[in-house]
Amino acid sequence: MKKLQIADGIHMLTMNVEDILFEGIWEIVNGVTLNSYLVQGEKTAIIDGVIGWDGVPETLYKNLEEIGVDPQNIDYLIVNHMEPDHSGWISSFRKIKDDFTVICTDRAAKMVSSFYGGDNVRIVKEGDTLDLGKGKVLSFHPVPNVHWPDTMYTYERDTKTLFSCDMFGSFGRMGDHCFDDELTPEEIDFFESEGIRYYSNVMATFTSSVKKAIEKAKRLEINIIAPGHGPVYRKNPQKIIDDYSRFALYAEGAGKDEVTILWGSMYGMTAKAVDYVEGILKRERVKYNKLKMPLVSDSEMVASVFKSAGVIIAAPTYEYKLFPPVAAALNELGRKRITGKLAFRFGSYGWSGGAEKELHEIVERNKMNWNFIESVEFEGMPKEEDLTKIEVGILEFIEKMKEKVVK
């Protein structure tokens, strides 16, 4: 765990978490940070927890003491969001001190009780404030469904700091550099990529709420954005607001100038057509990410499709339906409400079709509203005329993809 001063009277405690599945689902190959913030006036508030799922380690108290905070003197626990990556420490903290006040939204208050028990909860609404003394005044701004219904922003008026919790967060462990102005170009690229993976894995389902939260942030005068995961933005907080605006567009069908090939093959027949398509993409200088299902994690698959301006689905019929690993991937994309993507499918069948029917059932059931170029199906191994039809489809796909690209 690391401690850093981010402004006068405000400290961040941050730690890297690795070797877990985030939310029990998402592989985080590059880890994630949990950030907590201490705001000190005459009273002291701690915003969100930092120790994850396992209780309060001694290191937390040691770090608090090193920044001049006796845990016994923490007056307020500001719970921006009840997901246990931020709130999991509350019951353990209660064991050493029980005379603090939890500040949270009404939706969070019910969860405080059901997750951790206890009372002494103050429910706040839009614009309510808490004066800590010495000029430190916190105000509270609910942003429901970012990412749970209970979520809120906390804003410190003196330093114009927005504590945004999940909003404006990113996966990715932090090394020595925790502020935007310290990041190297490689680290900026790293957090772009990890930010996309985080948004697509955790936030994409809630894009309509994220867009409202972006507008709410724009109405506040902000010098610093201090999220619950990832770097603090103090030089250019507008950058992460712009990034999130772009990510919201990705969730609704836009993307980078690149393609994801989501494919699977039983005996190499669909694979032969994939090889052919790769040749066309190389010839046409189109960047592509080739994901063979089921060998790729859901985390990587969702992120890749999310950021791509076009999706090529290459999958055969399997027992009258779509090749199951590709069907499962599309269902997951539907659950994540990744809508409006441009797509093109081809694949083989042995004695009957069925893949195409299930593909469209998945897309309709999940209201994905994807735009499909006419599919190409072939019996057994693709013949010359099948490959010609696929090339026509790919060229149409590349042309239409240009309308989806957002820089």
Q: Nearest approach, Cβ of 75 to ligand FEO (angstroms)?
A: 24
| Closest CB to ligand FEO among residues 60, 390 | 60
Q: Nearest approach, Cβ of 352 to ligand FEO (angstroms)?
A: 44
**Nearest residue relative to ligand FEO (C-beta):** 83
SS (H, E, C) 348-365: EECCCCCHHHHHHHHHHH
Q: Nearest approach, Cβ of 205 to ligand FEO (angstroms)?
A: 11
| Closest CB to ligand FEO among residues 211, 292 | 211
Q: Nearest approach, Cβ of 83 to ligand FEO (angstroms)?
A: 3
| Closest CB to ligand FEO among residues 228, 325 | 228
Residues that bind ligand FEO (CB under 6 A): 81, 83, 85-86, 147, 166, 228-229
End-to-end CA distance of the chain: 36
Question: Residue 370 has what DSSP assignment?
Answer: P
Which residues lie across from 133 on neighbouring strands?
A: 136
Asked whether the beta carbons of 279 and 173 are under 8 A apart, the reply is no
Which residues lie across from 289 on neighbouring strands?
A: 260
- The encoded tokens of residue 342 equal 């441009």
What is the C-alpha separation between 221 and 249, in angstroms, rounded?
Answer: 24
Q: Nearest approach, Cβ of 81 to ligand FEO (angstroms)?
A: 5
Asked whether the beta carbons of 30 and 20 are under 8 A apart, the reply is no
Radius of gyration of the CA atoms of the chain, in A? 24
Please give the helix or strand (H or E) that residue 286 lies within, else none.
Answer: none
| Closest CB to ligand FEO among residues 160, 173 | 173
What is the C-alpha separation between 218 and 310, in angstroms, rounded?
Answer: 31
| Closest CB to ligand FEO among residues 85, 300 | 85
| Closest CB to ligand FEO among residues 107, 321 | 107
Q: Nearest approach, Cβ of 78 to ligand FEO (angstroms)?
A: 15
Asked whether the beta carbons of 86 and 48 are under 8 A apart, the reply is yes
Beta-strand pair 287-292/321-322: unpaired
Asked whether the beta carbons of 283 and 360 are under 8 A apart, the reply is no
Using omega within 30 degrees of 0 as the cis cutoff, is the peptide bond preceding 81 cis? no
Q: Nearest approach, Cβ of 261 to ligand FEO (angstroms)?
A: 31
| Closest CB to ligand FEO among residues 81, 404 | 81
